[in-house]
Amino acid sequence: MRLLIYFFAFLLCWNVSVAEDISLKDGRVFKDATVSDKGLDFIRVHHSEGIAKVSFRDLSEDLQKKYNMTEQAVQNRVAAQQQKNQAQKAREEESARKLRESLSDAEKSPRYMKGADISRLMVSVSDISPVEAEYAALVWNSGEARRVGLKDQADSFIEQAALFEPRLKDVRSRREKDGQKSERDQERLRKELADANRRLAQLQNQIVGLKGDLAQVRNEQNSRTVFVDPPVIYNPPRTPIIITPPIYPPRPPVFFPPRPPRPVYPVPIQDRRIPAFIPPNSTRGG
C-alpha cells in the first residue's frame, strides 16, 4: 500500500517535458531538446548531440517567457540571491563573533600546524610523505580557523589544500603500486614457506619411519651375534735417535800482556832500641 502511495505521488509531481527543437538567437538549433535544469540566468538543455548550458540572452522572447528567463525576472532572482547570500554571510559572521566571545583567552588563538609537525606526530604510527603531511596540516588549519570563527582564513587554507590534491593522488597511486608489489612478494614468500613446511613434514615422516625400523630391529628375538675380530694395530719399529753433539770451532788463543814491574819504594828503618829505665826524681850520672 505504501509503495502505491509513493508511486501516485511521483506521478503527480512528475513534470513531463516534451522533446522539441529549440532555436537560439545565434542560429544554433537543438534537435529533440528538453530542459532538464534551470539556474538564475541559464537553462540546461539535453538534446540529440549532448548537453548544453544556454544563457537567457541567447533565448528568443517566446522561450524567455516560457521558461521565465526574461531580463527582469533574472535581475529579480539575482538580487534575491545576493540578499540571501549577504544575510547568510551576516549570520555566519555573527555566529563567529559569538563563538570568539565564548572562547577563553587560550582558545581564541588558533593552533596552526605545519607539515613537519604532522610528520613528527605520525613518525611512530605510519610512514607519511611530505605532500600528505602538508595537505593534512592545511586541513587541520582550516578546521582551527573555523573553530575560532575565522572563515576567510579557513577558506584560504581549503584553497591551498586543493592545490595539493593532484600531487596527493600521485603519491597515493605510487603507494598502491608499491603495496601491490609488496603483496606479490608476500604471496611468493608464503608459497615458499608452504613448500618448506611440506618438505619438512615429509622429512619428519621419514624420521618417524626410520625410528620405527630401528625399534623393530632392536626388538627382534632371533637376532644373531656377530663376532668381529679386534682391529690390528700396527706399531712400526722405532728408529733410533742419534744425538750428535754440536761441533764448535776452536777458540782463538788468549793473549795476556805482561804485567808491568812493581815500583820499589824505600822502607824507612825503625829505631828498635829500648830506652833505659830512668827512675823518677833522679838525674842521669848522679
Which pLDDT value is given to residue 286? 46
Cell numbers of 248, please? 764448535
CA angle 213, 214, 218 (to 5 degrees): 115
- Amino acid, single-letter form, for residue 226: V
Which pLDDT value is given to residue 272? 56
Which pLDDT value is given to residue 15? 44
Which pLDDT value is given to residue 12? 44
DSSP 56: G
Edge-to-edge order in the sheet of strand 50-55: 20-23, 29-38, 42-47, 50-55
CA atoms within 13 A on the CB side of 184: 5
- Which residues lie below 8 Å from residue 164, measured CB to CB, with a gap of 6+? 131, 134, 135, 138
Q: What is the residue whose three cell numbers read 509503495?
A: 3
Which pLDDT value is given to residue 120? 81
Q: What is the pLDDT along the chain (286 residues), one digit of tens a residue?
A: 555 555 445 444 444 455 778 888 888 888 888 888 888 888 888 888 888 888 888 888 888 888 888 888 888 888 988 898 888 888 887 877 776 676 666 566 788 888 888 888 777 666 778 888 888 888 988 888 888 778 888 888 888 888 888 888 888 888 787 777 777 777 878 888 888 888 888 888 888 888 888 777 777 655 555 556 666 666 667 777 777 777 777 777 777 777 777 776 666 655 555 555 556 665 554 4
Which pLDDT value is given to residue 231? 67
Among 163, 161, 157, 133, residue whose Cα is nearest residue 144: 157
- Measured CA to CA in angstroms, residue 97 lies from 103, 144, 147, 149 at distances of 10, 15, 11, 7
The helix/strand/coil state of 65 is helix
Which pLDDT value is given to residue 250? 77
pTM of the model: 0.34
**CA 52 – CA 35 distance, rounded (Å):** 10
**CA 29 – CA 20 distance, rounded (Å):** 10
Which pLDDT value is given to residue 125? 65
